[in-house]
Structure 1
Amino acid sequence: MAGLLTIPRELRDRIYDWTLSDTLASFQSRVLQRERKTIEYTPSEPETLFGDNSVQFPAHTSLPPAHGLLHTTRQIRYEFLDSIRRLGTVRYEVDLVERKDCGTLAPTWVSVPCLPCFTDRIDVLSVNWRARHSRTSSIATSVGDSQYYVRNAFHGSLALLQRFIERGIYLLSKKKRAKLHIGLLEIHINLSGTELDNEEEIQRFAEEACVYVDDYLLGVYNLIDYAEDRQTLNEQFEMLVSKIDRVQIHANGALHREWDLSQAIARREEHSRNADVREEESEGDGNMAI
């Protein structure tokens, strides 16, 4: 009986390339997308949840189409991994959807429609950040009071990004923990089909996102009052800057801002020291006035 190893290597390479370009079953099947852990809340008065606690991760995720090739023979595994190495720049794409209706927000990691990464480095992780104002078939959802819309959108997204980096495309598996590194994180803001779909609003939204990135990198967590939440974000920050070299925000197809994370920890520490000095000076001025 003819098998994969009986056909010419050139044809096997084409099969490997085709398999690498295929999508996850959870992206193709709405049933698999909906099979996820749920958060109970009242639609009219949703409980405000934060960060990782606000995200509904799937009960399980699909293995990549190429997973079986890695568990057949040593020769096929070697050839398959060699095909990945010959790809050059590894670019990985994901979708992140925001849903806002009935006073709720749902940042949603809907799909992983590009190359499943079997290496320990992704050169470019491209995130298409879309806005929707209706129900979505999602694999992860965040809910919260509408007044925290922007905050939850940002921090819910960070929780998903952290899980992705820590555990790879499996999300719930720990197989890739502490291995994955990202050269460039591209965030593409997509507001097409919403009431914000015009150049002025897109630029305003992009600038607002940039302000949140600036604050996050400096450790300024507005509207976050609990020390436990702040500690969680600090630990998340240290993990992310150790795994990502650069971050870009694109608006309407054009680069809006870029951050080099190599000095992010040093800049945060300097900002914290300056803030302490300003606070001490302010307290001193207050005592003198008395």
Structure 2
Amino acid sequence: MPTLLSIPREIRDQIYDWTLSDTLASSRSRDMRRERKCLIPFPFDPETLFGEDAVQYPVHTSLPPAHGLLHTTRQIRHEFLEGIKRLSNIRYKVDLLDRKDRGVLAPTWISVPCLPCFTDRIDVLEVNWRVRHGKTSSIVTSVGESDYYLSNSINGSLALLQRFVERGVYLLSKKKRRKVHIGLLEIHLNGGADIDEEALDEFAIDACSFLDDYLLGEVSSVYYDDEKRQTFDEQFEMLASKIDRIQIYANSTLKQEWGLHDAVAKREEHARRLVTRDYDST
């Protein structure tokens, strides 16, 4: 009977490639999607949730399909690791759902092509950010008037992104910490059936404006005291050192792109201008 090792190497390589492109079991399992851990106790008032308090983390992260191949024979493991090194574009995918009637952010991984311990770089981190107004079986939520809603959603997402950069896909585990570098953070806004294209475009414009202000350090809704300002300044510095570019799409159209190296320079120049303005006014 033919075995994996008895078939030609080029066919085995194709099998390795298929395995690396497969989706995680959690993306197909409603039960696993619903196993969450909150950083604050329930019950809570959604109006008070902000930043990382608005995040509900998955208790378990599914192992990628590649995991089994790494525990068969030494030859298959060696060949498979060679295949990982040959990958020209390592793309991770995560799904977020944004509801206005609650106050919780909760990620679900869709695709993690190789085990985090075998790579410290991700060429593309693709985020499917689904905006919803009502009840659904999935993932990210926020509440309140439009300004508060946008601020809460984005800052909760930034806190989630920070934790991912610091710990990899094991969002809750300090022991499995694996710091990563992201070439491109690719955010796709998806409105679904209950939000039309025009409303989604408006949301994208507001989100881009918010991110513009965040990169300059000028978001009044989060920089309301010195302690918060320091926290978000440290967050920005860490993310800017770990992410090369950010893109936001809505209705499959690129809305805006930022180079984080350029953003650092603009932020420093903006801060110098503010200091000069304040000095001249005294």
TM (norm. structure 1) is 0.83
Shift of 1:34: 1.2
Shift of 1:214: 0.8
**Which residue does 1:254 correspond to in 2?**
253
Cα distance change of structure 1 residues 214 and 33 upon mapping to structure 2, 3 Å threshold: same
Shift of 1:193: 1.3
Is contact 2:187-2:249 (8 Å) kept?
yes
Cα distance change of structure 1 residues 235 and 164 upon mapping to structure 2, 3 Å threshold: same
Size of the aligned set, in residue pairs, is 276
1:26 aligns with 2:29: no
Letter in 2 for 1:210: C
Is contact 2:197-2:251 (8 Å) kept?
no
Partners of 1:69 and 1:229 in 2: how far apart? 46
Letter in 1 for 2:29: S
Shift of 1:159: 1.5
Cα distance change of structure 1 residues 116 and 156 upon mapping to structure 2, 3 Å threshold: farther
SS in 2 for 1:231: helix
Is contact 2:99-2:141 (8 Å) kept?
no
**Which residue does 1:154 correspond to in 2?**
154
Cα distance change of structure 1 residues 55 and 5 upon mapping to structure 2, 3 Å threshold: same
Identity, % of aligned positions: 58
Is contact 1:122-1:182 (8 Å) kept?
yes
SS in 2 for 1:125: strand
Is contact 1:219-1:268 (8 Å) kept?
yes
**Which residue does 1:212 correspond to in 2?**
210
Cα distance change of structure 1 residues 23 and 69 upon mapping to structure 2, 3 Å threshold: same
Is contact 2:51-2:159 (8 Å) kept?
yes
Deviations 1:136-160 (A, max 9, x none): 444x656555562110111111112
Is contact 1:48-1:143 (8 Å) kept?
no
Partners of 2:182 and 2:128 in 1: how far apart? 16
Structure 2 unaligned segments of length 5 or more: list them.
none
Deviations 1:133-187 (A, max 9, x none): 233444x656555562110111111112222222222323454522x21211111
Larger-gyration structure (1/2): 1
Partners of 1:10 and 1:173 in 2: how far apart? 37
Partners of 1:254 and 1:47 in 2: how far apart? 32
Q: Over the residues paired in the alignment, what is the CA RMSD in angstroms?
A: 2.6
**Which residue does 2:229 correspond to in 1?**
230
Is contact 1:63-1:170 (8 Å) kept?
no
Letter in 2 for 1:14: Q
Partners of 2:24 and 2:249 in 1: how far apart? 26
SS in 1 for 2:135: coil
Letter in 1 for 2:93: E
Is contact 1:91-1:125 (8 Å) kept?
yes
Structure 1 unaligned segments of length 5 or more: list them.
285-290
Partners of 2:133 and 2:143 in 1: how far apart? 15
1:62 aligns with 2:62: yes
SS in 2 for 1:37: strand
Partners of 1:16 and 1:173 in 2: how far apart? 28
Partners of 1:93 and 1:80 in 2: how far apart? 21
Cα distance change of structure 1 residues 170 and 42 upon mapping to structure 2, 3 Å threshold: closer
SS in 2 for 1:89: coil
Cα distance change of structure 1 residues 202 and 99 upon mapping to structure 2, 3 Å threshold: closer
Deviates more, 1:232-241 or 1:68-77: 68-77
Matches within 5 A, 1:35-74: 35-38=35-38, 39-41=40-42, 45-74=45-74
Cα distance change of structure 1 residues 142 and 230 upon mapping to structure 2, 3 Å threshold: farther
